[in-house]
Amino acid sequence: MLIATLLTVVLAAVPLQAREEPVALARGGSGTVCHCPCRTTLCDCTMHSETCHRCFGIGVTLSTEMLSTVLASAERPILQSSNAGWFQADVYPEIKIRLEGMTGSGASAPFEIRFVPDPKVAARYVPDETFDARTYAAWIRRIDRSRPATLSIGAKDDPATWRILDGDAQHLNESLQKSFRLVRLDGSSMEVFRSDSTLEWEANLYLRSVVAGIPQEGLLGDPETAKSALLSLVDLVDLQVKSGDMAGAVLSLDRLIEAAGTRWLDPTKEDTAGALCAFRKIRNLLVPGSSCA
């Protein structure tokens, strides 16, 4: 026990060093995105679809250099998030992290942490009450730093909370500059995740996941024809936003909402309300106040 305690103290004394290679995901990264009700590996979003949240999961490979830096301390990990100055959204209710390294014998050794918002510091996330520092320290000592590791992230958010603070819709085509930094008690920090996706890309991905998630029994007429028609309108909105035609994008969103509500979706099905709500949430980015929430 004394040896373990001393090792923990030594590890905790190592400050983070800045690295030139954060986990960069140029267009939001590879992974899965789905519209409620759904579930990904580390995100459970199986509540009623009218909440129209989204679940997303991302998996990346950590280089041996970054892995060594991340595991340089056994102290309780803290994450600090940031976005572009013009963008605002509610904090994530939770962020689940799964770090899977290899032991010296080559066996896989995963460790999961559930982060929740820190009530004392804005945009900061801390491990929940299930986190055990001793177990974490013991896991760190088992990991072979010379082998790459896999980092998986799962979270959910509500596009109804997305806001363009200065009201300039042209920001839709700019990077959200999403970033998470690992923060140490000594004040040092290191960027461990970055996404340069645009708000337009996020909105389009969300709308497409909504359409993809509509069950066949919720569609009127031929299901393939219905989904194709809805996706065509979604793609038109995307093209108009990319070209800066925000007024045209609003008209196309109105057409999407009208067509979905009167022609392609069965109003008696519970998923219809969720899909229409989701379409209105993206319209809210262009015309604040038009959200269904």
Domain residue spans of the chain = 2-197, 201-286
Identify the three-state secondary structure at position 80: strand
Cα end-to-end distance, the chain, whole Å: 53
CA 171 to chain centre: 19
Judge whether 38 and 53 are in contact, CB under 8 Å: no
User: Which residue is it, tokens 């690295």?
Assistant: 19
pTM of the model: 0.84
For Cα atoms 101, 102, 105, give the angle at the middle one, nearest 5 degrees. 165
CA 221 to chain centre: 34
Judge whether 55 and 275 are in contact, CB under 8 Å: no
CA 205 to chain centre: 12
Q: Helix 246-259 to helix 270-286 angle, to the nearest 10 degrees?
A: 170
Q: Mind listing the pLDDT tens digit of every residue in the chain (293 residues)? A: 433 333 333 333 344 444 445 555 544 445 678 888 888 888 888 876 667 888 888 888 888 888 888 898 888 999 999 999 999 999 999 999 999 999 989 899 999 999 999 999 999 999 999 999 999 999 999 999 999 898 889 999 999 999 999 999 999 999 999 999 999 888 888 888 888 889 999 999 999 999 998 999 999 999 999 999 999 999 999 999 999 999 999 999 999 999 999 999 999 988 888 899 999 999 999 998 877 75
CA pair distance 167, 250, nearest whole angstrom? 15
CA pair distance 200, 264, nearest whole angstrom? 25
CA pair distance 51, 36, nearest whole angstrom? 7
Tokens linked to 166: 């200065």
Q: Is the peptide bond before 37 cis (omega within 30 degrees of 0)?
A: yes
